[in-house]
Amino acid sequence: MSNLEHSEENVNQTEHKRRVRYKGTHPRAFHEKYKEAQPEKYADTIEKVIKKGSTPAGMHISIMVDEILEVLKIQPGEQGLDATLGYGGHTAAMLNCLNQKGHIYALDVDPIEIVKTKKRLLDKGFGPEILTVKQTNFANIDEVAKEAGKFDFVLADLGVSSMQIDNPERGFSYKTEGLLDLRLDPEHGESAAERLSHITKEEFIGMMVDNSDEPYAEEIAKVVFQKMSKGQKIETTTDLKNAIEEALVLVPLKERQEAVKKSCARVFQALRIDVNSEFEVLYSFLEKLPDILNSGARVAILTFHSGEDRLVKKSFKQLKKAGVYSEISEDVIRPSASECNRNPRAKSTKLRWAVKS
């Protein structure tokens, strides 16, 4: 064989990719956790991570699955809607209840995760004959119903998925360095950094108070706008975290670390809600919801902060009084202690339900 042929053969061979190297005994950075990102291949690793009370990188642990199924009472042959597809765990559980008879429409606005989840569910045997996945905001349920018809059960999980929170490229978490983005659909709208660059200090204070009840809103806004007035841009998650830390020097030292942690979580939440118009979207969803339901249809909604829960509670109560819903949950249903131990991100979850008259 000539040297030229040898060269061509080497070019045609698939280049072997070495796994990501990391310092220490365990990977720390998101991109280093290659085993956690492949649950089908490294099941033992996934279970170890979950048992420690953590969420594996690139995964999402579905919350209150049993409680949701108990509320929805899904029967084979019914048509359902998962308004917030996410990682697809709830969707898969509901599809199993259908026993290959019926159909589920699943919606998600995230163009990155929806492709991965659609493939994940297809690999589980849930093809287009039983599952339709659509990239759209769940405020558009009326448009979906024009195509699909009315539904017998609906689920809306209003939480941000772990694979979005943990990926530093999405900018959802103050715990990792990344661009301050916070958009559920990074292809449309403005990022949180862009939003901060042209609102007033008063608007930022109002955003933090209204969206997350931030007690140090004025102090945080003061520091953020002082920095920006001096030409310091707030462009990354770390930029914002550092500004919050600076603003909370007034907190006694022994309490400061915990105060910073809680304020960071609240401020990032407030920005995320604003950037994605989450309250407006939820209000539109709740307003349109009765019109897409068959008589006797059941609805389950998971909320993760008081603002969301207030909107859902108010809507359900008003519509029951008006005779639109025959039954609603009088009290919220909370995850069990064992679930919260296994998945700490479940702790703030509240489940409410309603039945269409």
The tokens for 344 are 């700490």
The long-range contacts involving 303-309, CB below 8 angstroms and separated by at least 24 positions, are: 303/158, 303/349, 303/350, 303/352, 304/158, 304/159, 304/348, 304/349, 304/350, 305/212, 305/269, 305/348, 306/213, 307/210, 307/211, 307/212, 307/273, 307/279, 308/158, 308/278, 308/279, 308/282, 309/350, 309/352
- Shortest CA distance to 171 belongs to which of 268, 84, 245, 258? 268
pLDDT at 19: 59
pLDDT attached to residue 187: 87
Strand partners, 303: 350
The residues near 93 (Cβ < 8 Å, ≥ 6 apart) are: 62, 65, 68, 69
| Six token digits for residue 206 | 């109002």
Residue 109, CB half-sphere, CA atoms under 13 Å: how many? 19
Average pLDDT for runs of 10 along the chain of length 357: 50 52 54 49 52 52 92 98 92 96 95 89 94 96 97 92 64 82 89 94 96 96 96 94 96 95 94 93 97 98 92 97 97 93 87 98
User: Parallel, antiparallel, or unpaired: how do β-strands 350-356 and 151-157 relate?
Assistant: unpaired
What's the residue count for the chain?
357
pLDDT score for 86: 85
pLDDT at 18 (0 to 100): 58
Q: What is the pLDDT of residue 113?
A: 85
Q: Which domains, and CATH codes, for the chain?
A: 65-162+284-356 (3.40.50.150), 186-275 (no CATH)
CB 93 within 8 A of CB 165: no
The pLDDT value given to residue 162: 57
pLDDT given at position 11: 46
Give me the pLDDT at residue 273, please.
93
pLDDT computed for residue 35 by the predictor: 46
